[in-house]
Structure 1
Amino acid sequence: MTAAGFAPEWLALREHADAEARAADLLGPLRAALARRSPFRPRLVIRDLGCGTGSMRRWLTGRLDQPQHWILHDRDPQLLALAAATALGSVETREGEIADLRGDDLAGTSLVTASALLDVLTASEADALATACVDAGCPALLTLTVTGHVELDPPGPLDDRFEAAFNQHQRRHLLGPDALGHAVAAFQDRGARVITRPSPWRLGPGRLTEEWLRGWLGAACEQDPDLAASAPGYLQRAGDLRVVVHHADLLALPGERA
């Protein structure tokens, strides 16, 4: 993920697609777990890791029953400022690296959330996150992790090759499309119950599709320069293209292993 992947303009552009894609059927088991763990707390304390401009809070806050206090974490002060400026209710911000969080830091936390985070972590960072949540006995709702599979309609002759090159590019330094499986194993190995659900983007022609396609092609061509000659033709298709970008959501419930 490049720095542009975290730009406020990109985050705003994708917010509606993110909200439509998240797996709402994970909210039932999440609400039940929160009710069991916090029956006498006056409010939930929710930490949003890599919060960006606060889209996860905007999506989730009205879908949980109890009053909430949100702690927004991000390493980018500009994004934190934007998230705080648009926040209603009880909110505070924390600037710093998510990888530095430990179980003690999550003391008193009811829920950890994140959106589009796992695939931009390293294996050690994902392991540290799982350890922190389990050590604190804190559920985690981690949404919109890319799985590496894309469907283009109408299809093109090099779809599979672009997909493979993009996935290899993401694996250079990060978990990329391996993130979901790694995170599931990390939480389960630490004794948590894990539930996953698909959460695909379903995009029609438009600016989001064009910007996503531009980034997808660019990363693929960086990985496999032989694809560069075909990329402009692919980009020209954006005006008529429909895309399914597969993601998955994960709910981890420490101490509830099946």
Structure 2
Amino acid sequence: MKRMLLIGLFAALLTGCGDPKLDATTEASLQESSKKVAEKLSPDEKKQFSADLMLIALSNLSLGNTSLVGVQQSNSLSLDGKTAADVNTMAATIRAATEQKKKQQALLEIKELKSKAASAEIAKNELAKFAVSKSRLLEQQADKYSKIAQPVIELTVQNGTSHPVSRAYFKGTIASPERAVPWFVDAFNYEISGGLESGESATWQLLPNKFGKWGKIEAPAGAIFTVEVYRLDGPDGKALFDAGGLSESEQARLDALQNQYGPT
């Protein structure tokens, strides 16, 4: 009997000397026990403990608990009887799961961006079949209602693809052969009335907005106007081929993701 009493006393002493635990029976008891747990911690451990509690609470909120009562109940179930070390382990598990989810999403985004870039390269081969055999930039004299002359883009094209085209997208460039930097670059597009069937040719005279960039071009007389196709739409209005590739922001995003998570 004496031996049993000694064992019981020893167990009680061990329990009393153990790390303090959270009491999440009520919100008040959780707050009070959190203070007691924190009292036994170093300053750095207190900061970590506070951050861990906040993360667990936010995690419970993100699990679909939209009400305060629901969050409190989840906190009670997950935190009751836990020590600071237990809380840290729980938080570490949440952080690891969050990081894994972020990585999976990042790898998927990398795959999508690389696929878009690869599709643009493939599209260039098809777009080359939609030939621009003639491109001229003319200027109509200003009428009596405006002092600004009307720019005219004259294009002759042939649809060498195997698809009907409803709209064509172009990039126009004005440059001098001896200069590395062009005088003017801008994109424009044309919705083709009736479309352009495979094998058909057409000559168009397009009138860009004379009050915009096209009406303010400053280039010497010897500069050359060239036009390249960067996208074609089919009869349904959706892109058949698009060589636009990644925008600057998308390329920067891809570079940043690959630096962090590596290429896929």
Bin the TM-score by the shorter chain. Answer: under 0.3
If the length of structure 2 is used for normalisation, what is the TM-score? 0.19
Q: Which has the larger radius of gyration?
A: 2
Q: TM-score, normalised by structure 1?
A: 0.19
